Amino acid sequence: MSIAKYKRILITGGAGFVGSNLAMRLREDLPKAEIVCLDNLKRRGSELAVRRLTNAGVQFIHGDIRSREDLVMPRIDLLIECAAEPSVMAGIESSPDYLINTNLVGTLNCLELARKDDADVVFLSTSRVYPMQHINNLKFKETDTRFELVELQETSGASKHGIAEHFPLDKPRSLYGATKLISEIMIGEYTDTFHLRAIVNRCGVITGPWQMGKVDQGVVVLWVARHYFKKPLSYIGYGGTGKQVRDFIHIHDLYRAVKHQLDNFNDYSGEVYNVGGGLENSVSLQELTRLCEEVTGNKIDIASVIDERQADLISFVTDSRKFKQKSKLKWEKGPKETVQDIYKWIKENEDDLRPILG
């Protein structure tokens, strides 16, 4: 089986960071395929993606997965479901209606489309399905620059490599994480009941050029942009020293992972995979600051806020060994190269990005 078998591909959330980048790369690898991106353009900066997509020959539809009518279209044979309200803070200080209707009802609408068309599905889920309490109660040691997981943990699915797929799911995880986990469960039911062929990828921080980073989503781009435009930042929570840790995967490597799955769909269908940067691609905010200073040549003011934000985590590192051992893939973009790619992109598009990231 090869990715070349797909003739008409729909990417929901197609003007978002992940969706648009996957579309652009698929356009290069499948010049004869019809690639369609659907997006409601709610996210600021998504209009810039539309220009890139149309210039590359990708069809764009201004629509919303919350509306089944917007999903009425010629038959597709592959659905890549990237549409989401991606902020873990969504629905906490305001109505959760948009979050639930997009991330849950919207996914159900997409599954109905895939069932009707007998299309393969790749679903972009999140590491936020893992419960906050369990993660924050793990054993950490504090080093000069980060909080680090120790090797021996009492909780199944946790180790110095991070959080694996069999980590317990029996505690709250945020409204955002709940919508994605329920969507995963429904995909499993559609797989069993209707023999839908689907792959679920739980991703942590995904980053790279063309991400419109902000405080609650897209932290790596936010950090580089604030250094580039010389704007202040804050270390928030856990002592206010910037030692909390996240791993990240460059969009280039995420595409390589998805393409590999599409080339070998039968081998991956029906399974859930952590697809993240892992320990080697993890940084604390303090370490990320040093990288940004090195790459941009700028040093900015960073305030210290002691109190944690609701739904925050002391550390999250993705244990992607299940996927990496099966695929034999190694990530090509490390932390410094990722920061350099983002810096170069901002510099080359400064006028367009200043109103959004500046």
Vertex 178 angle, CA 38 and 21, to 5°:
30
With H, G, I as helix, E, B as strand and everything else as coil, classify residue 2: coil
Percent of all residues in the chain with a pLDDT value above 70, rounded to a whole number: 100
Q: Where do the DSSP E strands lie in 120-271?
A: 120-126, 140-142, 147-149, 158-159, 162-163, 198-203, 205-207, 233-236, 245-250
| Type of residue found at 5 | K
Which DSSP string corresponds to 195-225? ---EEEEEE-EEE-TT---BTTB-HHHHHHH
Tokens for 322? Answer: 């299940």
Strand partners, 198: 121
Per-residue confidence (pLDDT) for residue 161, from 0 to 100 = 96
d(CA 205, CA 248): 5
Residue (of 350, 199, 225, 240) closest to 292 by Cα position: 225
The stretch 179-203 carries a mean pLDDT of: 98
d(CA 88, CA 101): 15
**329 burial level (CB within 10 Å; 0-12, 13-18, 19+):** middle
d(CA 293, CA 300): 8
**Regarding predicted confidence, which is higher, 295 or 94?**
295
Phi and psi, residue 287, nearest 5°: -70, -35
pLDDT digits (tens, 9 = 90+) for 129-166: 999 999 999 999 999 999 999 999 999 999 999 999 99
CB count in 10 Å sphere of residue 116: 12
pLDDT greater than 70 at residue 240:
yes
pLDDT greater than 80 at residue 318:
yes
pLDDT greater than 70 at residue 191:
yes
Per-residue confidence (pLDDT) for residue 1, from 0 to 100 = 66
d(CA 54, CA 47): 11
Three-state secondary structure along 276-287? CCCHHHEEEHHH
> 């598009």: which residue's tokens?
349
Query: H or E element: which one contains 9?
Result: strand 8-12
> Which DSSP symbol is given to 238?
G
Categorize the per-residue pLDDT at 242 as very low, low, confident or very high, splitting at 50, 70 and 90. very high
Q: Where do the DSSP E strands lie in 210-313?
A: 233-236, 245-250, 272-274, 282-284, 302-305
Per-residue confidence (pLDDT) for residue 358, from 0 to 100 = 87
Tokens for 34? Answer: 């019809």
Q: How far is CA 57 from the centre of its chain?
A: 24
Residue (of 44, 50, 54, 86) closest to 354 by Cα position: 44
pLDDT digits (tens, 9 = 90+) for 285-314: 999 999 999 999 999 999 999 988 888 999
The stretch 80-96 carries a mean pLDDT of: 91
pLDDT greater than 80 at residue 216:
no
d(CA 306, CA 308): 7
pTM of the model: 0.96
